[in-house]
Amino acid sequence: MFERFPTLSRMYLREVVRDQRCEVNGRLENVGYKLRPDDFIEIEVDVSRENAMRPEPIPLTVVFEDESLLVVDKPAGMLVHPTHRDKNGTLLNGVVHHLNSAAGSDDPVIRPGLVHRLDKKTSGLIVIAKDVRTHSIIARAFQKRQIRKRYTALVTGPIDANEGVIDAPIGRFADKKFWGIKEDGKESMSRYRVVERSAENTLIELEPVTGRTNQLRIHCAFIGHPIIGDVERGGPTFDRLCLHASGIEFRHPKTGEWVKLHSPVNDNFGNGP
């Protein structure tokens, strides 16, 4: 399917399938369905997302790079890829330019593959594959939970326990177009560890055991300590969402070596409101 839409990102096409906008022989099918000869496929795509592969000279903070992978530190407030509303100025546009600037062509030679994503409001580390094989290996590692991710968050109020586990199912409320704790939602688990606490706030390290949409924001609000800046879920207003993807560890898809990367939290994040 990827080859049929060369100007669209692989992550977007996976989202289309996951969000039930792909039919096979008149039936909705999800990722993992094995196609057979003569299957008739209908897929709904937003052609405005073709801007994803348009190179733009956007400054990037590169944390790691080799012939297979690129890891960048995304600032808060930047979209990972274009949408129907915001068509330019995204991380992916900057990555395409970074990887292809030496080629001197408007048509990307290296087509980066987003393996995972961060919310627009969330800052931190994000991994990009430079080729199809690397993308496939890293994506499979994410699915099998073989990649360790760490986030740093500043939440409201003092958390008494030094560490804990939040286990609560997450689902989408279609009528409100909102993700939250839902009795019939998917299994969702997050671990947390207190880094520093005060009478007003607590700085914590979070590990998402599962990878649901808005999982960490939802789970923090669920235990009564919403993330500062997450107004939608009861957090106080702030100039940014105080959630940062601060660490990631994985086995390199080519060398087999264990890669461990860290991104410190910006000072003004730690101070909070």
pLDDT of residue 205: 97
**Amino acid letter at 259?**
V
How far, in whole angstroms, is CA 79 from its chain's centroid? 10
* Mean pLDDT value across residues 60-68: 95
Answer yes or no: is pLDDT of 20 > 80: no
Secondary structure of residue 7 in the 3-state scheme: coil
pLDDT digits (tens, 9 = 90+) for 120-132: 999 999 999 998 8
Which pair of structure tokens corresponds to residue 239? 């100039």
CATH topology of domain 147-273: Pseudouridine synthase (3.30.2350)
Q: Which residue from 268, 12, 219, 265 is spatially nearest to 125, judged by alpha carbons?
A: 265
User: Does the active-site annotation cover 119?
Assistant: yes
Element (H, E) at 136: helix 132-143
> Among 144-148, 162-166, 173-177, which stretch is predicted with the lowest mean pLDDT?
173-177
Are residues 8 and 45 in contact, defined by beta-carbon separation less than 8 angstroms? yes
Q: What are the extents of the domains in the chain?
A: 147-273
Q: Which of 73, 119, 131, 175 is catalytic?
A: 119
Q: Which two tokens stand for residue 232?
A: 């939608």
- Give tens-digit pLDDT for 229-240: 999 999 999 999
Asked whether the beta carbons of 151 and 245 are under 8 A apart, the reply is: yes
Q: What is the pTM of this model?
A: 0.80
Strand-pair partners of 27: 24
Structure tokens at 34: 């094995």
CB 52 within 8 A of CB 37: no
